[in-house]
A and B are shown apart, each in its own frame.
Chain A
Amino acid sequence: MSTRVAARSAAPDAALPRAGVLADAALGVGILMRFILRRNWLRMLIWLIVLAGMVVLVIDSQRSLFPTQADRDAYAKVANTPAIAALTGLPYAAGTLGGILNIKLWMTVAIGLSFAVIFMVNRNGRAEEESGRTELLRSGVLGKNAYSLANWLVFSAFAVVVGLACSAAAISQGLPADGAFVMGGSFAGVGFVFVGVAAIAGQLARTSRGANALASTVLAVSYLIRAVADVNATDDRASWLTWLSPIGWGQQTRSYGENLWWPLLLCLAGGTLLCGIALALERRRDLGAGLLPDRVGPRTASALVRTQVGLSLRLQRGSLIGWTVGIIVGGLFFGGVAKAMVDLLKPDNPITQAFVGGSTNVLDGLLGFFLMANALLVAAFVLQSTDSIRAEEAAGRTEIQWSSAISRVRWAAARMVVPAVASLGLLALSGACVGLAYGAAVDDPSQSGRFALASLAYWPTALLMVGLVVFCAAVIPRAAAAVTWGIYGVVVILSMFGDLFGLPDWVTKNTPFTAVPRLDETFTILPLVVITVLVLVAGGVGLWVLQRRDMVSA
């Protein structure tokens, strides 16, 4: 049967011009590139404007922050801290505006662009395949690899355009052109490598979720490798480990410093090789199939997950780990830069005044401000975590749970335990990390405990967020998410920037965050008592209503 079909189809086939195997496989690439552009131009444009726009904004702000060469030289002396090296890369040429731009922004743009290409390549690759749309296209007159090739080409070109736009942005702000082009080239190079990483991830995983996770993991590992390399630097030279990371390749172009072009060859070779491997993999696999097996999970639930608190903990495991890492990094960063910032800040500056409050001790004022900023982060975690009460109902999962042998009050209480307890731990951790990094900067390891305690003063406020969410989820289930986050946004603005806007004291000093006695203020118990009473009222009323109202159907 199959031979007969082959024999019959041989005739028209022979009439067509014979093209090479690869040309066959790529048949239709041009059309598909237009197709991908048509479906993604807005998304690409937004990324482009955000990334290149940041270059303009950062140069502008740094120029006003360090107006003279003397200012920049002073900054260069304090710029090289381990926290900066680990987070944003090893500073070099920190006495130039271009060098400062790299310290403040290079890593953000490189990582941002890498995430952009990873998500967009998978969106147009594995996600399309998963949804079955690729099947529709591939059943037409289309080369086997055409869709993938078009996808990789479009987003490689996107990386180059973003790089050029960043160069143009820097030149438009008066930075030297050679440095600007090397910088733009380094962004494009890193972006191209991650097009290749995403291309391979899209061959290995069967779902776009899995492909994104895989490629993001490679990005995270690349970031960590170069962080280790940058921390273990000799003078302003990163350790050899940096050559194991594509992000390291980009950094080693040292734009605005030595302006080296040749590390870009590594990026070019790396990206091309990865895409080549992905192409070979695609030719060997079935449409819709992944090369890695689907991950399976446990057959039974552990004793922990079978408890309500354990279930809630399990469902939030990923987000809890993420928040913990973020809080540690943030705390270490704030604590590490506090001393250096105080050395730079002039105490009579109105902005300084607004942030550190009326404190006579600028350093304590700033550290107190950082603790509050961390508490705001912890509060965001609390909102997200407690929101599961609303989200479970909105998703329709309460139907099967509330018809089980558990009262709604106990059910909700179990979901309040996680944010309540975790916020206590996260506040202590963030304070300890600020204290640890600050203590390291001033050679006083005893700081950790003092900061952890000061940070814990925000626990009642964190609990107030639990109460707020429960109250809204019970009373206004459909609007709860918008309302709670709206309230949070207003509180953040009032607490952080209220003084800058010249709002009256009775507003700015009485938000749930600013009312808490700060590190540099005398400790008073009254605000904490008031907040605790509010927690009990909001939580109590919320639970009472939740027990009595109809379930909201999905």
Chain B
Amino acid sequence: MPTKSPKSEPGLSTPPPNHEALEAEVLVRDNISWMLALAQRILRDQALAEDAVQNAFIAGLRGLPTFEGRSSVKTWLHRITVNECLMKLRKQKQLNEKPIDEYLPEFDRHNCRIEAPWPVLSRAEDFLESERTRALVAEKISVLPGTYRIVLQLRDIEGYSTDEVAELLEISPGNVKVRLHRARAALKKLLEPVLRGEVHR
């Protein structure tokens, strides 16, 4: 005689058949908005962001039964989303390593910095009041090769540590630091006309 499955034993608390589906829907509804915002910040494209979030949820829901709770669900989903976005960027060959030497600081033969005198700088808030300046800053950031922009994004915006960025991008922590500093230095150079007030805000 075949043994009865424990699920069919009366009196045992068996979840309703749609319990898992309900749990999945709650997880999706609770997290989809911030995940879309995150993916869009990284990918800068609505359709790609939606695709990345969909893949992230599918991977997340598949892995949910084995989720060990060593971090919060949000932290866990954040990382899955970032990974999906990185896969998209790699697939689109957007993590390119074009040189940015032309935007890096210059030094003379005595190892002294070559830097034209600066006027008194306005505060960041003053610059950010203007939509045109925001657009200009976004335009200059997009000049940075993807491999630099992503380090800036993950470390400065998404709050990952140097070691975490290194792990996500599969590069060494030292390389993350070099790229981050170069990205910021290049951006400073690219934004000079805006910061010096040479561009009408």
Determine if chain A interacts with chain B: no
Binding site for B on A (CB under 8 A): none
